[in-house]
Amino acid sequence: MDQRLSQHQAQRQILSPQIRQYLKLLQMPLVELSQAIEAEMAENPVLEESAASRQDDPLPEAEQAEETPVREKSTEELQLGESFEHFEKIEQELGDEYEESPVTHRDIGDVKRRHDYQETLITKPEGLSDFLMWQIRFLSLSETERKIAEEIIGNIDEEGYLKATLEEISAACRVDTPEVAKVLEQIQTLDPPGIGALNLQEALLIQLERKRPDSALALEIVSQHLPLLEKRDWQQLARILSTDVEEVKEAAEMIVRLEPKPGRTFYIEEPIAVTPDGTISFADGEDEEDGKTTEDKNTKFKIEIHDESIPTLRINPYYRKLLRNKNTDEKTKVFLREKIQRAMGFVHALKLRKSTLHEITEEIVKVQPGFFEHGFSHLVPLRLKDIAQKIGIHESTVSRAIQGKYISTPQGTIPYKSFFSTKMETTSGEVESQKSIMEKIRKMIDEEDPQKPLSDQIIVKRLQAEGLVIARRTVAKYRDLLKVLPSHLRRKR
């Protein structure tokens, strides 16, 4: 083995900074995009928000002339990796006449101060660990036992179960395992009942012993016959326990009321506010003048890409004037030229993002009209590659565009990715989407007899009767994705 230097030539495609910025903004959902714009405005002093009452264009007329063919130009840029050509003419553009306005000096610290103030209004809710740490203060624990208790609480997950073994905790605290077990018994007396259990069975037993210590039948079922309880086999349980079915059902009803996840009461359920990036609605027959409808005049649907929360940006005219001023030193001009170029690229990337998202949505509407009228059962197969070929961009760009984004439709607000699924051929040569098949399986299970639930094999036969060639393991996989239990666990005896 030896070290040596070698030289070779290779061709590779390198994306320009402007295209990288466009792809970054394209991937952001609406909420993140608003935050990115705010951050960019705080960082770039020449970029500012236009007042709603102003009629100023965000960019001078020379730039507006280039915005008209934005789709054709953007496609070429994405394919060839070229830069925005208008950046090369920045000096000429900056020399154009531009309406002057009073100097608007923005305090960059205002954005940070507002953000800091908003954070002070946020209060952190009490979590499970905090509640348990508060309770152990009332236990008679030595200093060593308190350290063990803190180690135990630190290993309790959000569902309330202890995820570390006694041996691991004893090794971490450098104490004997029996001493850890003794402290764990005291932890398990705390609220919520069942906390610190090692598994479901132990959690149910702890709750029964605290809430219903007189129910010997329920205790025996949980400790000895939990699998039969899961299957709801009341007859078998009654025979084994030498009792009647009604008493078994009463005990089972008592067990069902227990909490399988003791820590669930402390779940931090933060409301997820989904802001759709677009809306697809039934058209009222009137043509839109702002270019937000599909190009097909016979379409039933109207497309709107939301940008109401996105401010209209422009280059501060004061800095343009300063750049044209002959008395401005060269160092300042270099700084301003760089910032103005960055601001112009940011504004064009925003426009290109909206254009790309609109075209993707438009193609989805053309392919999936049945979904908007009838739901997922009429969803047809669609791949990212299909949309990419229609628009003339790379498949990865489509993937970035729909990542984490939602759209409001007549069927509800759903992720963009819900429209895409693989295809499965039928015996007649037609194709069905994976999601439409899953919807058929869901409908079959919803309409089944609870006492005679459909097995995976029966579902396969019913689908085959409709012309779908599908394996039993595929049905089982789809059923798992739908979070539906197997037939023997769905049976109500």
Domains assigned to the chain: 128-266 (1.10.10.1330), 423-490 (1.10.10.60)
* Predicted pLDDT of residue 291: 42
Distance CA 82, CA 482 (A): 45
Q: For each successive 10 residues of the chain (493 residues), what is the average pLDDT?
A: 79 74 86 88 87 46 39 38 42 41 46 53 68 90 92 92 92 92 93 91 91 84 87 86 88 89 75 80 59 49 85 87 88 90 90 92 89 82 88 88 89 87 64 77 88 88 82 86 82 70
Cα 363 to its chain centre, rounded Å, is: 23
* Predicted pLDDT of residue 186: 93
- Model pTM above 0.85: no
SS (H, E, C) 106-149: CCHHHHHHHHHHHHHCCCCCCCHHHHHHHHHHHCCCCHHHHHHH
Closest by CA position to 51, among listed 314, 305, 306? 314
SS3 call for 389: helix
Return the amino acid letter for 19.
I
Q: Which two tokens stand for residue 388?
A: 């990419």
Closest by CA position to 71, among listed 260, 353, 316? 353
* Predicted pLDDT of residue 287: 44
Closest by CA position to 401, among listed 343, 362, 344? 362
* Predicted pLDDT of residue 177: 92
Sheet strands (E) in 382-434 = 406-409, 412-415, 423-425, 431-433
Annotate 426-461 with DSSP letters as a single string. Answer: BTTS-EEEHHHHHHHHHHHHHTSBTTBPPPHHHHHH
Cα 80 to its chain centre, rounded Å, is: 32
* Predicted pLDDT of residue 183: 93
SS3 call for 280: strand
Contact residues for 290 (Cβ-Cβ < 8 A; gap 6+): none
* Predicted pLDDT of residue 424: 67
Return the amino acid letter for 339.
K
Contact residues for 444 (Cβ-Cβ < 8 A; gap 6+): 454, 459, 462
